[in-house]
Amino acid sequence: MKRLLHAFWMCQSMFCAIPCPCKTWDEDARYALLWCLPLVGLEIGFIWWISGLLCLFFGLHQLIVGLVLCAVPYFATGFLHLDGFMDVTDAVGSCRDLARRREILKDSHVGSFAVIGCVLLILCQFVFAFAAADSADLRLLIVIPVVSRCCSSVAVAVLPKMATSQYARKKAGLADILIPGAFLVASFAFSLWVGPRGALVLIAELAGYGLALRKGYVSLEGMNGDISGYALTLGELTALGALAVL
């Protein structure tokens, strides 16, 4: 139990900008790091939902509500996954050979494809958040980050990884699938409880995540944290779009 708690603190410190009450690193708990990723998503989801409720409670203009709902996921993660999105967008958009695409992926400089992709991403996120703030059931915001991180946890554990990935030495076990799977089932159960359209939002998120993952993984021929962030960002954007439309 102590190691699992250490794994959660480690996971929160790495993948979340919310202040962590206990900063520790336990190498013996590293095996459970990805198991805790959906819990971090749940934490972010609650903050996302509560932020929307507070905006509506105080009667803020819908534009402001949309701005808050657009920005919270990025600030809550310290723009970590947005950084991965930009890196992969630059690499994939370059249309160079594999070696050069991987070089671009690790380049600290920001290219034109990343800038264009980021601008379009945030514009879409704002428009979807603005529309969702009008009539959507915001309780689904709680589980959208959970589902995306369930997908990332499984993808990072199962798919063949690049040699430079920090997860390169990790071998997938049954728990790496069952634990995120349990969170995924619970998320769908919650979405059905919220309403019949809730599950459609999460299905759209899975589709968006899967397509983005395929694009990044096939183009770079390997899995790493940047591709995970790329797919996670686009998966959550798809869910927010579905939440606004349905």
Please answer whether residues 44 and 77 qualify as being in contact, where contact means their C-beta atoms are separated by less than 8 angstroms.
yes
Alpha helices in 58-143 (DSSP H): 62-76, 80-93, 98-106, 112-135
Tens digits of residue pLDDT in 193-207 = 998 888 999 999 999
Q: What is the mean pLDDT of residues 147-159?
A: 92
Tens digits of residue pLDDT in 172-187 = 678 888 999 999 999 9
- Nearest CA among 19, 148, 130, 62 for reference residue 9: 19
Cβ burial, residue 188 (10 Å; 0-12/13-18/19+):
middle
What's the pLDDT at 24? 73
- Nearest CA among 241, 215, 234, 194 for reference residue 82: 234
What's the pLDDT at 14? 84
Helix (H, G, I), strand (E, B) or coil at 65: helix
What's the pLDDT at 167? 65
Asked whether residue 53 carries a pLDDT value surpassing 70, the answer given is yes
CA distance 68 to 60: 10
Per mean pLDDT, which of 1-5, 30-34, 94-98, 235-239 is the most reliable?
A: 235-239
